[in-house]
Amino acid sequence: MAVYTDVTDEELHAFVAQYDIGSVLAFKGIAEGVENSNFLLHTEAGYFILTLYEKRVNPAELPYFIGLMEHLAAAGISCPTPLANLDSETLGTLAGKPAAICTFLNGMSVRRAKAVHCQGLGNAMAEMHLAGADFTMHRKNALTVDGWRPLFDLSQDRADEVCHGLAAEIERELTVLEERWPRDLPVGEIHADLFTDNVFFLGEELSGIIDFYFACTDAFAYDVAICLNAWCFEADDSFNVTKARALLKGYSSVRPFTAAEFEALPLLARGSALRFLLTRLYDWLSVPEGALVTPKDPMEYLKKLRFHRHVTSARDYGLALGDVVA
């Protein structure tokens, strides 16, 4: 839930007047997105989402995020489409903060994904990867292997408060991943945060992907690995191979994996599990005493990491090499 900034009527009317969408009929804060303030904006032209970019998003990176959404939407990917104002700008300023108006996307995130949702996700992710190929801007992934040790340094001393032996286990894992991390996989624009919150469905049909504020230029297969973690484990932390198979099959039916990608998947899945373990661990240890918001449990990702460590081949994710590679 997120509405961090108050917007006055005058500011709102002046901002919306820069667009060709008529006057404002309604404006309500909505509980969507964690990093930014999001509002439902109803104007004479219809319903939109207005986003105010709060301080966790670096303003210098907004042209990349907004540009990527514009590019993907133009290529037919269902994602929020930033509206251009009368000066052809998609990024403006409201209440002293960067702001954009995007199309309203129908659909809802699923709480309990079924295999059919995973397959749809695989399809859409592969289409998104292909559609991004001719996007000319790039952004380094700040949360890939090079960024993990500095992040770990912030929590190392207190990691064992969460689970005995955790610091040593992360240290060993980091060393392995730094040594073996694949550097030559096919690269492009990836979403990098395709959790269920960020994918909308209408029934079993995927209707859109939102929240591109972790998007970056990195290995396509790393995006797939993030989804294996985010979509293919059950509430009891057991791996659901049926969902993984559907995800990989859905992906490869649009963009077949290379053999190197297929081989790298277990390691990428370990890396992605470590990435979310590290950010959750940091948030867990940083939360102020008595805060109302409970941070997400880092242990969930430790269990996922351990699962992938015992995976001997991507075959354990439910598909043979020949099924998914071109």
Residue 289, C-beta contacts closer than 8 angstroms, at least 6 positions apart: none
Choice between 24 and 325, CB closer to a copy of itself = 24
In angstroms, rounded to a whole number, what is the distance separating the alpha carbons of residues 126 and 132? 10
We find the least distance from the C-beta atom of residue 10 to a copy of itself, in angstroms, to be 9
Choice between 41 and 305, CB closer to a copy of itself = 41
Choice between 8 and 242, CB closer to a copy of itself = 8
In angstroms, rounded to a whole number, what is the distance separating the alpha carbons of residues 250 and 122? 4
We find the least distance from the C-beta atom of residue 150 to a copy of itself, in angstroms, to be 29
Strands 37-43 and 205-209, sheet pairing: unpaired
Q: What is the DSSP letter of 87?
A: T
Q: Is 107 helix (H, G, I), strand (E, B) or coil?
A: coil
In angstroms, rounded to a whole number, what is the distance separating the alpha carbons of residues 317 and 21? 47
Q: Which residues of 196-233 are buried (b: 16+ CB within 10 A; e: fewer)?
A: bbbbbbeeeebbbbbbbbbbbbbbbbbbbbbbbbbbbb
Choice between 100 and 145, CB closer to a copy of itself = 100
Choice between 31 and 86, CB closer to a copy of itself = 31
Note whether 30 and 39 are within 8 A (CB): yes
Tokens 């670096």 sit on residue: 58
In angstroms, rounded to a whole number, what is the distance separating the alpha carbons of residues 2 and 49? 13
We find the least distance from the C-beta atom of residue 159 to a copy of itself, in angstroms, to be 25
Note whether 152 and 174 are within 8 A (CB): yes
We find the least distance from the C-beta atom of residue 78 to a copy of itself, in angstroms, to be 13
In angstroms, rounded to a whole number, what is the distance separating the alpha carbons of residues 227 and 248? 10
We find the least distance from the C-beta atom of residue 294 to a copy of itself, in angstroms, to be 13
Choice between 106 and 286, CB closer to a copy of itself = 106
In angstroms, rounded to a whole number, what is the distance separating the alpha carbons of residues 278 and 302? 9
Choice between 59 and 203, CB closer to a copy of itself = 203
Choice between 12 and 142, CB closer to a copy of itself = 12
We find the least distance from the C-beta atom of residue 36 to a copy of itself, in angstroms, to be 14
We find the least distance from the C-beta atom of residue 17 to a copy of itself, in angstroms, to be 13
**Which residues are at the interface with a copy of itself (CB under 8 A)?**
1, 3, 6, 8-9, 12, 23-32, 40, 42, 47, 104-108, 110-112, 200, 202-203, 288-293
We find the least distance from the C-beta atom of residue 302 to a copy of itself, in angstroms, to be 25
